[in-house]
Structure 1
């Protein structure tokens, strides 16, 4: 009985704390794994449980001003939303994004994709809190405004700001999934000034 309790403690700690990458390069936090396997950036650190009070905080460095894709997978028991009025899964996510390029970013967009290369559509259940059940779930410290697009894709565009080379911008968002799916993608696209 004691060994079961000990195993439960270790499993719970891994679920909540996160750490370095696993042998296959995936980083674990909040019942999900996060991977930079598609290239163009690297994950530096991860922590948190994915709740509103303790969001998953993922620190990453982008090497260029090109689009990069974060692979997110369900690994282990997925925590249900704690809100009584919210069905499905709610993942509170903060992305600390280091500008490792040599160019300033003047806008930044995020897009959800259920299938790689295909926009997320209304019927797939994946969104940046499309129901907007609560306020204040989307923000960025380096940009003063944002817009949401829901159809034909789920996209956030952060504007009116700038992230210079070697600076860090923090983006906060709530991803909800009504299906839920085992794997989905978060496309990050920094935008540079036109010359």
Structure 2
């Protein structure tokens, strides 16, 4: 009888573990578009949809919602095998990204910043191969529907801040920009930082 009770207990534990794992997988779905996958697994926001191929005419469009005024980090993984071999001609890639964000924080955003990181929590430098297309002509590639201007800050960071506008609570704000990916690492990060009026 004791052995039977232990079997039931183990079966119950495995069932709960399976349900928990399934729920976690559902909560942090991996979205694939073009040669990349995208995830909100680090928390703080939710991806609603991802589409597109990454070209100028068909950018990768990520629709998401931010629930608080705090930086969040999008996890980006390369799905192309060439990325792992920097000696091949296709080791690097330029892709075009459009972030569509719902302001679910309950506060107006007066600025919005983005930062690329090859290593989580470590500023991007010139040698890591990541940038908002730093060496190229970005004319007409970077814009937002609610912010009129932007500043980029290279070395020792790779940051871009959209200014001169406002995204009210529940507003939909979009940001378009290119990303140059010449890093040999398969995974990198895009930090997103909404900013509210200073008090």
String of CA shifts for 1:85-141, please: whole Å, max 9, x gaps. Answer: x98201100000110111000000000000000011000110000012341111111
Compared with structure 1, are the counterparts of its residues 178 and 122 closer, same or farther at alpha carbon in structure 2 (3 Å cutoff)? same
Alignment of 1:5-154 (within 5 A): 25-76=29-80, 88-154=92-158
The root-mean-square deviation of aligned C-alpha atoms, in Å, is 2.0
DSSP-derived class of the 2:94 partner: strand
Q: How many residues align?
A: 169
Deviation at 1:75, TM superposition (A): 1.9
Equivalence for 1:191: 195
Please say if residues 109 and 166 of structure 2, whose CA atoms lie closer than 8 Å, have aligned partners that are also in contact. yes
Please say if residues 91 and 174 of structure 1, whose CA atoms lie closer than 8 Å, have aligned partners that are also in contact. yes
Q: Note the residue ranges of structure 1 that are not aligned, 5 or more in a row.
A: 1-20, 80-85
DSSP-derived class of the 1:181 partner: coil
Compared with structure 1, are the counterparts of its residues 23 and 101 closer, same or farther at alpha carbon in structure 2 (3 Å cutoff)? closer
- TM score, norm. by length of structure 2: 0.80
DSSP-derived class of the 1:123 partner: helix
String of CA shifts for 1:53-82, please: whole Å, max 9, x gaps. Answer: 110000000001100000000124579xxx
Quote the Cα distance in structure 1 between the aligned partners of 2:31 and 2:91: 26
- TM score, norm. by length of structure 1: 0.81
Higher share in helix: 2
Please say if residues 32 and 78 of structure 1, whose CA atoms lie closer than 8 Å, have aligned partners that are also in contact. no
String of CA shifts for 1:25-78, please: whole Å, max 9, x gaps. Answer: 110101111000000000001110011111000000000110000000012457
Compared with structure 1, are the counterparts of its residues 60 and 23 closer, same or farther at alpha carbon in structure 2 (3 Å cutoff)? closer
Compared with structure 1, are the counterparts of its residues 78 and 24 closer, same or farther at alpha carbon in structure 2 (3 Å cutoff)? farther
Q: Note the residue ranges of structure 2 that are not aligned, 5 or more in a row.
A: 1-24, 84-89
